[in-house]
Chain A
């Protein structure tokens, strides 16, 4: 029944399953054989089973304001053990370098003094949050969780597309994908040695606990801070909290008093040591950032500054996500680690260099142009796919703000067979591996999130742009049976018994009756003109204006 693969045409891109002669690659043999043995109807019924499993788990994503199930393709993406070792080493190296860079940026800035990056690069970064200056994380970790986006180019080499050390999301899809696939393809899980992914919540909790401030209890109180149910990643926030066995809280569940952060519970207040926050910097503390934000906790940043709470990931990490900073990461790896980068960047033009800008403007219709501070394809323009009018608008944007943009050649992301319209067709994919840093070691979750661009030929792979995903299988090295195998669908660690639950309202609590905060009136800097003697003003060389 191999006809589902019939007519599978490889484009210029590297294909994950088939080599140049359209023969299945060795690592993909078992998956190819299993799928080839199925009829269209059987594949369709397994696809339906996956969708049902997804609905049952409640996995959805927000597409244009509408909650939709995140489509999981039936064909897994398989990565062999040797290749994975390289990716793992490359991702871990990258995280180490970015950690060192962040510590330096918010510290002595030795990297500037040594001439590796210009100070202007940091000063002009919209995510360089000077408010975070002086916040020293307890175990030195700022990027507790990282998502390093990779693509595979036409030659089959993995390259880094962007770094996400602010609030990388998507790991819940990895966990849910695995559960759904394990139920749907039991025969493959019983014959292949696939690295499990359900260790993630335990690793995350361990890293968060290790980041607790000095003086916290042996079992520090960790919470997950979510913007709330209307956030598109709320499912992930609740899943992680549940799997880690910690409280899921909103800003109004927490408050600052006497240099500590507290959680309101039915048993009174309880001190919080580590906040795994999924609220952006700008909304995290209205004293320092947006005063109108009700998603954050007023006074939080100064508690972190005093070393009495750990905010994970760190405030101001966005400097490392800046796409112009990205172009320096290979240099940062050499500078901080004295190593050569394991993973290459995608070639990138820095538009502040006049010759680069000129070349890019000449070739706009063949390049990909991205804003430096947009993650996940936000604001990105693919030259060949853009209209003349769109390119015209882009041109004026680049001229007005060359610091705000970078340009890259169009990379043909690798393709993988994807079940579309009753048969397997090549679709472009990327990979976001997740790394967890506990201060001792950077652990990379085997696999990660493979995202698929579902429209044919589309090169932008993003859940917010109508994409889907694939389960990502990292094959174990060594003999069969060496790697511990267990059904991944059996659920994560059991949630710890809840002794105290957060509550929404408690009239006796100080802030709770009305959580909305007002901005304190500020004093405009104005001289008391009316009180100044005219004579004095004249003496100062000025007229009297008031």
Chain B
């Protein structure tokens, strides 16, 4: 088991005064699937009022409004989280066949994760590549190979895509960040009939053997989960199974179901966003 302290700071600097702002933050780590949240809170300044609820996807949402004039807005999400150890695929997952996945009852139950959503639609080329990966493999084996094969095709390059770039565009560029790689991967998995979802969270980039408890810098991260007897998380960007270094905040069909922060504001002109994520490994 590993324990992390996460401090996620988002700061908006506006070129002119903002008169009102309405937002939602999805920055509270999920209390689920073995992940245990020991502490969490979100501090917004300035803030006029706030309200919390759990959305359709089970994500804790902090909605807040700022009705006083401001030129800066800072949201600090802090959490202390215990992560479960890395999971290895069970025998059951290995044995699950394509016939199992074709079962109409199963497909219906998991339809949200089998239906293409706007950002995860992939071109025929990706579908073809994914299909080739399935030949002679079980769904579970194929899923991992698909993740790795698509990753080989895409270069990790920040700045080419934006939050609203759909998988098709990122694929055309063969470039993107973890969000894009996750969208393409999710789309490809669904295209071959493997239920897949998009995960938003944080990734600890330090060495797993590091005991110095030094704070390291990262940013929010995205990866995928696929369903073969249960949900299996995999990080296509880092080409790794998800183990003791990934803190989950939200799961959905795609980015737009789980954005860390979204909202609208009146006035303000242009805005400048600075995001930092600090993670510290602690001894449980």
Contact = CB atoms under 8 A, between A and B. Distances in A.
Interface of A: 118-120, 123-124, 130-131, 133-134, 255-259, 286-287, 291, 298-299, 302, 305-306, 510-511, 513-529, 531-533, 535-537, 539-542, 545-546
B178 interface: yes
A520 B261 contact: yes
B46 interface: no
Contact of A130 (B56, B182, B255, B262): B56
Nearest to A524: B163
A356 B57 CA distance: 34
A16 B265 CA distance: 56
B108 A302 contact: no
Interface stretch (B30-38, B91-99, B120-128, B266-274): B266-274
A259 B21 CA distance: 14
Contact of B51 (A124, A257, A286, A306): A306
B222 interface: yes
A522 B265 CA distance: 13
A533 B207 contact: yes
A519 B67 CA distance: 16
A527 to B, nearest CB: 5
B75 to A, nearest CB: 10
A202 B54 CA distance: 38
A305 B65 contact: no
Contacts of B12: 520-521
B22 A299 contact: yes
Contacts of A545: 155-157
Contacts of A536: 205-207
The size class of the interface chain B forms with chain A is 35 or more
Contact of B218 (A258, A287, A527): A527
A134 B54 contact: yes
Interface string B154-193: 0111100111100000000000011100100000000000
Nearest to B69: A510
Contacts of B23: 287, 520
A527 B201 CA distance: 10
B275 interface: yes
Nearest to A257: B67
A526 B223 CA distance: 10
Contacts of B43: none
A119 B207 CA distance: 43
A511 B107 contact: no
B22 A525 contact: no
| Across the A-B interface, the 3 shortest Cβ-Cβ residue pairs | A545-B156, A526-B177, A130-B56
B115 A527 contact: no
A515 B164 CA distance: 24
A131 B264 CA distance: 16
A25 B53 CA distance: 60
B277 interface: yes
A535 B216 CA distance: 14
B45 interface: no
B261 A522 contact: yes
B240 interface: yes
Contacts of B49: 257-259
Contact of B205 (A130, A259, A532): A532
Contact of A120 (B67, B115, B162, B268): B115
A257 B66 CA distance: 9
B221 interface: yes
B53 A527 contact: no
Contact of A133 (B21, B48, B56, B108): B56
A257 B48 contact: yes
Contacts of B206: 533, 536
A376 B111 CA distance: 29
B203 interface: yes
Given A134-B55, A525-B219, A536-B206, 6 more contacts: A130-B57, A258-B65, A299-B65, A511-B20, A517-B265, A527-B205
Contacts of A298: 20, 22, 264
A546 B177 CA distance: 10
Given A124-B111, A541-B238, A524 B161 contact: yes
B129 interface: no
A130 B216 CA distance: 36
Contacts of A523: 10, 163, 219-220, 259-261, 273, 275
Contacts of A130: 55-57, 257
28 contacts: A118-B111, A119-B112, A120-B107, A123-B115, A124-B111, A257-B49, A257-B67, A258-B49, A258-B65, A259-B51, A298-B264, A299-B65, A302-B63, A510-B20, A513-B267, A515-B266, A517-B265, A522-B260, A523-B273, A524-B162, A526-B177, A526-B220, A528-B218, A528-B219, A529-B156, A531-B205, A541-B238, A542-B240
Contacts of A520: 12, 21, 23, 261-265, 271
A540 B265 CA distance: 40
A227 B157 CA distance: 42
Contacts of A259: 49, 51
Nearest to B264: A517
**Residue in B22, B51, B67, B255 whose Cβ sees the most chain A Cβ within 10 Å:** B22
A507 to B, nearest CB: 11
Contacts of B137: none
B200 interface: yes
Nearest to A285: B22
Contact of B178 (A256, A525, A535): A525
Contact of A302 (B51, B111, B156, B259): B51
B266 A134 contact: no
Given A133-B55, A259-B49, A540-B239, A522 B264 contact: no
Contact of B217 (A133, A291, A525, A531): A531
A526 to B, nearest CB: 3
A518 B219 contact: no
Contacts of A526: 158, 177-179, 219-221
Contacts of B56: 130-131, 133-134
**Residue in B157, B206, B260, B264 whose Cβ sees the most chain A Cβ within 10 Å:** B264
A521 B273 contact: yes
A517 B266 contact: yes
B130 to A, nearest CB: 20
A488 B177 CA distance: 66
A536 B24 CA distance: 33
A306 B65 CA distance: 15
A17 to B, nearest CB: 49
A90 B241 CA distance: 57
Contacts of A123: 111-112, 115
Nearest to B200: A525
A515 to B, nearest CB: 7
Contacts of A525: 163, 177-179, 182, 200, 219-222, 255, 260
Contacts of A515: 266
Contacts of A119: 108-109, 111-112
B226 to A, nearest CB: 18
Contacts of A532: 205, 218
